[in-house]
Structure 1
C-alpha cells in the first residue's frame, strides 16, 4: 500500500484524551444489543488455551473492581499490522469505517493504536506495510504523548516489541513491517513510569499494549474509567509484562467480530489490526 509520507507540521494532539465534554466511546454490538459483561477472575498469566477454547481472542475480567477487556495476540496464531486509511485516501477515523473494508472472518480484533492530529494523521512514528508514513517524534511538548519516556510498538515477521522511544532510536536499525508511536510508556523494564501515580484522579476509558517474554502481545481496554496507575499495574502485576505502552484514552475503541462488539464514538487515528493465521503450528 503506497501513501505519501506525511510532511505536515505537528499540531495540537487530537488523540490525546479530548476534554471530558467530548463524545465518549459507546460500547456496542453490531446487532445493537448490549454487550454481556462476563466477569472472570484474573490470573497472573493468561493461557493460550483460553483463546483456543472460546474462539475469541478477547476476554472480560475484573481488576481492582474495574472491568477490562484483555485481548491476546500470539505469533503462532496471529499477524499484526497497522492501518490508517484506504490506499490514497483519508484516514478511516473509526473502526466502523474500517470494518466495512475487511472480511470480519479473518479479523481476530482491531483497536485504535496511537495518537494523532486533528485530521487523524499520526503525530509520531508510523509504519504501514513497511512504508514509513511518519518519522520518529522526539520533540518535547505538552500532553500524554510527550510524557517521557514515550514509546513505540512495532514488529516484523511475528516478532513484536514495545520499546521506549530512546531505546528504539538507539537500537532499531531496520524498518519494521508495522510500527506506531504513542505515550507515555506504562511499564519500562518491569518498573512503572516514574511520573505515573498509584491511582491518580484522572479516570478515563483507556487502552494499551504490552509484549511479554514469550513474544505475545497483550492489548487491554478498560470498560469503565481507569487511572494510568491501575492500568500500568495490571500490565506489571497481572500480565507480567516488562514493557507496556499507553495507546490513548477516552477515544479508546475495540472491534471484536466474534462477540459482535464494535465500539463507536469520537474520531480515532491509527488502527492496530490483529488477523488470524490460516493454520496454527502450535
Structure 2
C-alpha cells in the first residue's frame, strides 16, 4: 500500500532538516612527499655513504644501502620536508638481507644523530624503529607506551612486533586524535599518546663502532607521507526545500498556496555563520 502523501511530505521534511543540521565529513588524503627512488634525490635526502659504504639506486625503482665489513655503515636522512604535527600517515617498505653482527635500520624520530657518533642507539633517540636483531628477526619497537600496556612509562623501549628477516616489511604509521597507530601485516598497534612528534626520518646507522662489524644490506622500495585530515563538507539549503513551507499543505498532501518561512524560524543567518565559524 502506498504511503499517504502527507507522510511522504513529512519524511521529506525530516530528511531535509537533517541535511541542514548534520553537515557531512570526509577524510581528505593529500600527498606531502612521495619517494619511489627512481634516482638519488639530493634535494630531499642527505646521503652519507661513509667509509666502505655505498648508497645507490637499483633498476630505477629501489634504494640500496650496503657496506663492506668495517666500523661504518651508510647513513641518510630526510631533509627540506616539514611534517605536520598531527593528522598524517607515513608509509615505508623495506627489507634486510645478508649476514650481520651489528644493527642498522629505519628510525622515525624527533631528533637527528650526528654522523660518526660513537654512542649506541638509545630509546630516547627514536619514536619508532625497524631494526634487525639477528639473521632471522627484525624488531619493530617504540619509545612510547602502547594502549594495552599495563605498566609503562614513555621513554622506555617497548616491543611492538617481529618481522621476518629477508622479506619485505610494510609499515604504516598514522597520527590521529593525539596518538599513533602503527600498522604491520594488517595488525594495528596504538600508542597511548603522540607526545613526541615525528619530525625526522633516517635510514642506516650513523654510529662509528669501536671494532669492525658485518652489516646487513638494506633495500628500500618506497617512502611516503600523506596529510590525512578530516574535511568538513558544506551543505547548501535551497529556499523552498526546508527553507520555507506551508504546514497545512504538508499535512494534507496538497500543493498549498501559502508557502513561507514561519515566524518562529529566525535562525538562518545565525546558523549559517555558526557553520562557517565551525569550519564548514
TM-score normalised to the size of structure 2?
0.27
Higher strand share: 2
What is the TM-score normalised by the length of structure 1?
A: 0.27
